[in-house]
Amino acid sequence: MKVSIKVNGTLYEREVEPRMLLVHFLREELGLTGTNVGCDTSQCGACNVHLNGQLVKSCTCLAVQADGGEVTTIEGLKSNGHLHPMQEAFWEKHGLQCGFCTPGMIMTSVALLQSNPHPTDEEIRHGLEGNLCRCTGYQNIVAAVKAAAGTK
């Protein structure tokens, strides 16, 4: 089936099998390998992207479901050669170690601040409930989100 999906501002048209997951469309068709696959069970959030302005797990969405839509991935966050403030904050606050969960964490955190610009610690932790990190213990991730929100 033919799909047209705008990714990070560029429209792509591709012929795909209906069973192709959006994450594989991004990684294998478009070579955007910043979006990771961390589980088989839709639980880890490593694959989180924004679809039509909403946070979604790209491993739990078919490319054909996203047809006609607009996707933003971690590669699309920077502007004019500058990292997104959330990316800067993760860097500053050491919100990552191996980095595998980081693209998903950042996409989730950006969506969180869009709906709640000044979250409490508790709201940040609840907001990140669907993102698993095996390295950091989350402490510095929460600190990064707070820093990006300017609520240090």
Ligand X SMILES: Cc1cc2nc3c(=O)[nH]c(=O)nc-3n(C[C@H](O)[C@H](O)[C@H](O)COP(=O)(O)OP(=O)(O)OC[C@H]3O[C@@H](n4cnc5c(N)ncnc54)[C@H](O)[C@@H]3O)c2cc1C
Check if the beta carbon of residue 105 is closer than 8 Å to that of residue 140. Answer: no
Find the shortest distance in angstroms from Cβ 82 to another protein: 27
Find the shortest distance in angstroms from Cβ 102 to another protein: 16
Binding status of residue 2 toward another protein by CB under 8 A: no
Binding status of residue 38 toward another protein by CB under 8 A: no
Binding status of residue 150 toward another protein by CB under 8 A: no
Which of 57, 72, 77, 144 is in the footprint of another protein by CB under 8 A? 57
Instruction: For the sheet with 54-57, list strands across it.
Output: 10-15, 2-7, 70-72, 48-51, 54-57
Which of 14, 43, 88, 135 is in the footprint of another protein by CB under 8 A? 43
Query: Cα–Cα distances in Å, from 124 out to 59, 70, 119, 133?
Result: 23, 26, 6, 15
Joined tokens for residue 55: 């946070």
Comparison of 29 and 83: residue with beta carbon closer to another protein: 29
Which of 43, 65, 97, 151 is in the footprint of ligand X by CB under 6 A? 43
Find the shortest distance in angstroms from Cβ 80 to another protein: 29
Written as one string, the DSSP assignment of 69-135 is: -EEE-GGGS-BTTB--HHHHHHHHTT--SS-SSHHHHHHHHHHHHHH-SS--HHHHHHHTTT---SS
- Give the interface with ligand FES as residue ranges (CB under 6 A): 37-39, 42-47, 57, 59, 96-102, 133-136
Residues in contact with another protein, counted by CB under 8 A, come to a total of 31
Q: Write the Ramachandran bin of 9: left for phi over 0, alpha for psi from -120 to 50, otherwise beta.
A: left
Binding status of residue 62 toward another protein by CB under 8 A: yes
Applying CB under 6 A, which residues contact ligand X?
42-43, 60
